[in-house]
Amino acid sequence: MTDETAQQRRYKSFEDTHQMLIELAVGLIADRGIDALSLSALARAAGVNRTTIYYHFTDRDALVAAVKLWSSQQIVAAFRPELPRQARIDYVTRFVLDNPAIMSLWIEDFIAPGDIRASYPHWDALVSGIGTSLAAAFPDEPIDAEVYCVMLLTSALIGPRVFRHRVAPDLDTEATIARFRQEQQRVLRRDGIAED
């Protein structure tokens, strides 16, 4: 084994451990809430000593930042171009419903002051694509694509939780997803964003 191969294996192991720790932190937040998350609690859940945790996260804030980044990556994964629109809508709605504590963290960042691109790196591409579609569908109307995209994301990321907790708490997850899919597709068709 060359030194380079050994070094690559060590980095892969570090990355695998790092990812495992983030996913364990997500589980802790889901089970006990954000206030229960600490480096010590994560070490206990992972079955490692705290020193190992400090190799990955300098403090609790760094761990929370990693969890927020993970949640953003999960949301962004839904917008891969190879996924059909229905799968995208279902993925986001399911993630929002299945991860309420994580979504609370994400929403907190989403509404906090600062550049949206820090939480949503594909913002400019989304606004550009939506703006192009809206301009083609409504050539005689001035449309604010940024505001439209804020409304779109807000309805996708906050709407399912409001619906689940305040409107139809007895409705199961699959029925909630189906209702959001139907309405989101209808709105996108109406606005010339989707043809399907």
Are residues 191 and 103 in contact, defined by beta-carbon separation less than 8 angstroms?
A: no
Q: How many CB atoms lie within 10 A of CB 151?
A: 12
**Amino acid found at 21:** L
Instruction: Quote the CA–CA distance of 138 and 144 in Å, as a whole number.
Output: 12
Are residues 92 and 75 in contact, defined by beta-carbon separation less than 8 angstroms?
A: yes
Q: Which of 9-13, 80-84, 104-108, 170-174 has the highest mean pLDDT?
A: 170-174
196 confidence band (pLDDT: 50, 70, 90):
low
pLDDT for 8 beyond 50: no
Mean pLDDT of all residues in 105-120: 85
Instruction: Flag whether the pTM goes above 0.85.
Output: no
Least confident of 50-59, 100-109, 166-175, 180-189: 100-109
In the chain, domain spans: 1-70, 78-196
Q: Tell me, what's the pLDDT at 3?
A: 54
Domain 1-70 CATH superfamily: Homeodomain-like (1.10.10.60)
If DSSP codes are grouped into helix, strand and coil, which group holds residue 49?
coil
Q: Tell me, what's the pLDDT at 110?
A: 82
5 confidence band (pLDDT: 50, 70, 90):
very low
Instruction: Quote the CA–CA distance of 27 and 36 in Å, as a whole number.
Output: 11
194 confidence band (pLDDT: 50, 70, 90):
confident
Percent of the chain at pLDDT > 70 equals 93
